[in-house]
Chain A
């Protein structure tokens, strides 16, 4: 499965949670599949989905899922020790690991070569690290939500993209409706 197929499959699970979605195609795909106020789309700033999600989880009680990519986690690798040492049991970091920089033309990442992000996360001190195959994402994600334990999920999947338009929502609108959903 490619990332957009995974997102389509887990959309019914994501719909009830606060979601911080990675820049580029992941946000565009989620926006196309199931746009709603609980989605925070990143329109810029590669690498910070995990940090924004952690800050949000630490600041209010609702479950937060950061959808990240292997390339973006590599960009902000310092996020993993921060996550490990500031446990928020309402936080799930879901890394969709397709071994490539999808939004820029599928250039290979080091995670698709020797580097294993699940081992990096564990070495950083993250306690609940789950590796799963694309087809099992929904089951693993639901289990992580139900566990009420901070979890890092590394989803192994194929690289590949679909064609879709950019998000034209104003960033302040995205933020405003998201903050209203956080408060609701």
Chain B
């Protein structure tokens, strides 16, 4: 199974047509797929809170948005999630690379990984953790859930899910 293609297929099947991204090595394949796919407007952001602003506008313009980012972004977007996305009841699937989990080669990534789920829980953000490739089968239902309840929803995807870092 090509996970990148499956994730973007599910986005398209759920009418997600406006996707903003902040780069990540693990998510590079998904970002390429988003860029290549007709029917999705891909707009890279310089920072994740900026991306959430773009998604808020797209939502009010009648499009279904999504954001692709690293878990470090939770540290910089808490205010935006609380005072924009949640306060105005906006749906936002957040496809997040969960750096600093099992098979992570970079120690500093662990420093935000240990806070990620606690911060999401504190914000009452529904959170799903993809650790095995088969976990991606839930993605379609998660998207439907997100647009049903008009909330930001986090999908954490760790290195094991992506197949690790090769020989590192």
Contact = CB atoms under 8 A, between A and B. Distances in A.
Interface of A: 20, 40, 42-45, 47-60, 64, 76, 78-79, 81-82, 86, 171-172, 174-175, 178-179, 182-183
Contacts of B89: 171-172, 175
A58 B60 CA distance: 11
B22 to A, nearest CB: 10
B50 A40 contact: no
5 contacts: A42-B84, A44-B87, A48-B50, A51-B57, A60-B61
A52 B61 CA distance: 10
Given A44-B79, A45-B84, A81-B46, A183 B62 contact: yes
A82 B45 contact: yes
Instruction: Find the residue from A45, A56, A81 having the highest chain B CB count within 10 A.
Output: A45
Contacts of B54: 51-52, 54-55, 58, 82
Given A59-B63, A171-B88, A79 B50 contact: yes
A59 B55 CA distance: 10
B122 interface: no
Nearest to B49: A48
Contacts of B51: 51
Nearest to B80: A45
B80 to A, nearest CB: 5
B49 A182 contact: no
B61 A59 contact: yes
B66 to A, nearest CB: 12
A175 B43 CA distance: 23
A50 to B, nearest CB: 8
A56 B144 CA distance: 22
Interface residues of B, number: 32
Contact of B57 (A20, A45, A76, A171): A20
B83 interface: yes
Contacts of B46: 78-79, 81-82
B50 A172 contact: no
Contacts of B49: 45, 47-48, 76
Interface string B41-80: 1011111011111111111111101000000000000011
A84 to B, nearest CB: 11
Given A44-B87, A82-B45, A174-B88, A51 B50 contact: yes
A171 to B, nearest CB: 5
A174 B63 CA distance: 18
Nearest to A48: B53
A73 B104 CA distance: 36
Contact of B18 (A58, A172, A175): A58
Interface string B10-46: 0000000010000000000000000000000101111
Contacts of A53: 57
Given A52-B56, A54-B57, A59-B18, 15 more contacts: A40-B60, A43-B83, A44-B83, A47-B49, A51-B56, A55-B43, A55-B54, A55-B57, A58-B41, A59-B41, A60-B61, A76-B53, A79-B53, A82-B43, A172-B89
B88 A60 contact: no
B44 to A, nearest CB: 8
B72 to A, nearest CB: 16
